[in-house]
């Protein structure tokens, strides 16, 4: 890791040709170069995905995952443009979730590569709604109310790693749990919930700042007068995540959310499970066996519930572009700067920052032609994409 090098490409924000130089894996210099250095390559910061349950055939919900498996999944995510992610654990028996978390954290500690790639942990469950439709594919048998002891154990297990906790505020004890989690430095996102509007506002007041995969984690049919979508869209102070695969959120709803909320209040996640970046077939998500068809729809066999996505991060950007009919740079922000700023800090292309970036060429129709990803100044093997 950490060789020196340089590229000339157009800056994704200004459109101007720049020379980006790196040394020791970090950006050393950025300077604009004369127009004679015409290039059709663009340079943009690498993507950041705050919800990844598994990838490239590797299910993160498995017990005793091997280091090589986690590294392989991470490198495939990198090849798909994503330098940093929150490894996501979904509802299970709490004790087993914490065991898994301890094991994964120990693996991450062993590997500088994983420490850099895995920003922290997204804990989605077990403090979610057990109601039909709202629990999705999370097993309602393991759902429970959050207590101070749970929150303290989660903090002790994760040290000072970034943690995003998704919970349903209608569970008893949730408001106190949100306050404690935030006081202990975690971020709280609401999700898999049917909370009334007043309770959503109380949860924001208690310190919740996010809403997890809006448009999912709810029944396919909703009351047209009053439902969780309308309530969230009317609640100030929530930054929502969306799965931009054209399957989890219909293109019309996707566009409407962008029209109703400020651009700064939306970021994208894949919610990827093991089938992402892997061929169609049968995969596991914890104890569930999941079927993934040729259209990348991820479902329990015989059910209409979605069970995570098979979306690669880079494809998420360009599927969003198709839905919004917008410049690719606009969608890119929602999958890079905005999730990074929500969870940890602004990650930009600037001297001193790690040389994690994407070089890409696009068509005049704003679709991806070619992608080359650099992690700490080293090109990620395209063959592993």
The contact set with Zn ion (CB under 5 A) reads 217
Q: Which is nearer to Zn ion, 45 or 217 (CB)?
A: 217
Task: Report the nearest approach of Zn ion to the CB of residue 228 (Å).
Answer: 13
Quick check: helix, strand or coil at residue 109? helix
Q: Which is nearer to Zn ion, 276 or 371 (CB)?
A: 276
What is the distance between the alpha carbons of residues 330 and 296, in angstroms, rounded to a whole number? 25
Task: Report the nearest approach of Zn ion to the CB of residue 364 (Å).
Answer: 36
Task: Report the nearest approach of Zn ion to the CB of residue 328 (Å).
Answer: 27
For residue 176, give every residue at least 6 positions away whose Cβ sits within 8 Å of its Cβ, in sequence order, or none: 148, 206
Task: Report the nearest approach of Zn ion to the CB of residue 115 (Å).
Answer: 26
**Are residues 95 and 154 in contact, defined by beta-carbon separation less than 8 angstroms?**
no
Q: How far apart are the first and last CA of the chain?
A: 19
Residue with tokens 């129709």, as numbered in its chain: 365
Task: Report the nearest approach of Zn ion to the CB of residue 132 (Å).
Answer: 15
> What angle do the packed helices 313-324 and 251-260 form, to 10 degrees?
80
Task: Report the nearest approach of Zn ion to the CB of residue 170 (Å).
Answer: 16
Q: Which is nearer to Zn ion, 170 or 179 (CB)?
A: 170
Task: Report the nearest approach of Zn ion to the CB of residue 139 (Å).
Answer: 12
What is the distance between the alpha carbons of residues 27 and 222, in angstroms, rounded to a whole number? 49
Q: Which helix (H) or strand (E) holds 58?
A: strand 58-59
Q: Which is nearer to Zn ion, 43 or 50 (CB)?
A: 50
Q: With CA atoms as reference, report the closest residue to 372 among 24, 39, 116.
A: 39
Query: Alpha carbon of 219 to those of 109, 136, 194, 336: distances in Å?
Result: 39, 8, 10, 29
Residue with tokens 């970021």, as numbered in its chain: 267
**Are residues 180 and 151 in contact, defined by beta-carbon separation less than 8 angstroms?**
yes
* Position with the least CB separation from Zn ion: 217
Q: With CA atoms as reference, report the closest residue to 88 among 119, 113, 57.
A: 119
Q: Which is nearer to Zn ion, 217 or 313 (CB)?
A: 217
Task: Report the nearest approach of Zn ion to the CB of residue 217 (Å).
Answer: 5
Q: Which is nearer to Zn ion, 276 or 355 (CB)?
A: 276
Q: Which is nearer to Zn ion, 216 or 246 (CB)?
A: 216
Task: Report the nearest approach of Zn ion to the CB of residue 363 (Å).
Answer: 33
Q: Which is nearer to Zn ion, 162 or 217 (CB)?
A: 217
* Torsion angles phi and psi, residue 262, rounded to 5: -70, 155
Q: Which is nearer to Zn ion, 161 or 271 (CB)?
A: 271
- Residue 33's CB is within 10 A of a number of other CB atoms, namely 13
Task: Report the nearest approach of Zn ion to the CB of residue 187 (Å).
Answer: 16
Q: Which is nearer to Zn ion, 84 or 122 (CB)?
A: 122
Q: Which two tokens stand for residue 384?
A: 């592993």
The separation between CA 233 and the C-alpha centre of its own chain, rounded to angstroms, equals: 20
Query: Alpha carbon of 162 to those of 152, 157, 184, 205, 337: distances in Å?
Result: 14, 12, 11, 21, 16
What is the distance between the alpha carbons of residues 327 and 341, in angstroms, rounded to a whole number? 21
What is the distance between the alpha carbons of residues 276 and 54, in angstroms, rounded to a whole number? 8
């Amino acid at each position: 890791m950490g060789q020196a090098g340089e590229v000339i490409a157009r800056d994704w924000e200004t459109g101007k040709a720049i020379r980006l130089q790196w040394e020791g894996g970090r950006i050393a210099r950025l300077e604009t170069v004369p127009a004679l250095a015409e290039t059709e390559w663009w340079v943009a910061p690498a993507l950041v995905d705050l919800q990844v349950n598994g990838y490239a055939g590797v299910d993160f919900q498995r017990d005793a995952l091997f280091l090589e498996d986690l590294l392989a999944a991470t490198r495939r995510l990198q090849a798909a443009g994503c330098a940093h992610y929150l490894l996501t654990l979904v509802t299970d028996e709490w004790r087993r979730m914490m065991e898994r978390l301890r094991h994964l954290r120990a693996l991450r500690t062993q590997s500088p590569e994983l420490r850099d790639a895995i920003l922290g942990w997204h804990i989605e469950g077990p403090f979610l709604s057990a109601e039909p439709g709202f629990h999705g594919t999370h097993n309602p048998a393991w759902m429970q109310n959050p207590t101070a002891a749970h929150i303290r154990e989660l903090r002790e297990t994760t040290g000072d790693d970034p943690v995003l906790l998704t919970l349903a505020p209608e569970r008893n004890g949730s408001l106190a749990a949100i306050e404690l989690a935030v006081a202990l430095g975690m971020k709280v996102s609401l999700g898999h919930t049917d909370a009334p509007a007043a309770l959503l506002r109380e949860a924001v007041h208690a310190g919740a700042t996010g809403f997890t995969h809006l448009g999912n984690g709810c029944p396919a049919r909703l009351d047209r007068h009053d439902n969780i979508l309308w309530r969230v869209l009317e609640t100030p102070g929530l930054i929502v995540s969306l799965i931009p695969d054209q399957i989890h959120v219909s293109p019309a709803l996707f566009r409407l959310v962008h029209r109703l909320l400020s651009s700064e209040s939306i970021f994208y996640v894949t919610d990827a499970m093991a089938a992402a970046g892997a061929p169609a077939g049968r995969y596991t998500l914890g104890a569930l066996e999941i079927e993934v068809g040729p259209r990348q729809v991820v479902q329990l066999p015989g059910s209409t519930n979605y069970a995570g996505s098979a979306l690669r991060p880079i494809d998420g950007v360009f599927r969003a572009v198709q839905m919004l009919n917008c410049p690719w740079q606009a969608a890119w922000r929602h999958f890079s700067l905005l999730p990074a700023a929500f969870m940890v800090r602004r990650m930009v292309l600037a001297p001193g920052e790690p040389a994690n970036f994407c070089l890409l060429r696009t068509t005049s129709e704003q679709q991806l032609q070619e992608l080359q990803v650099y992690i700490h100044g080293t090109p990620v093997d395209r063959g592993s994409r």
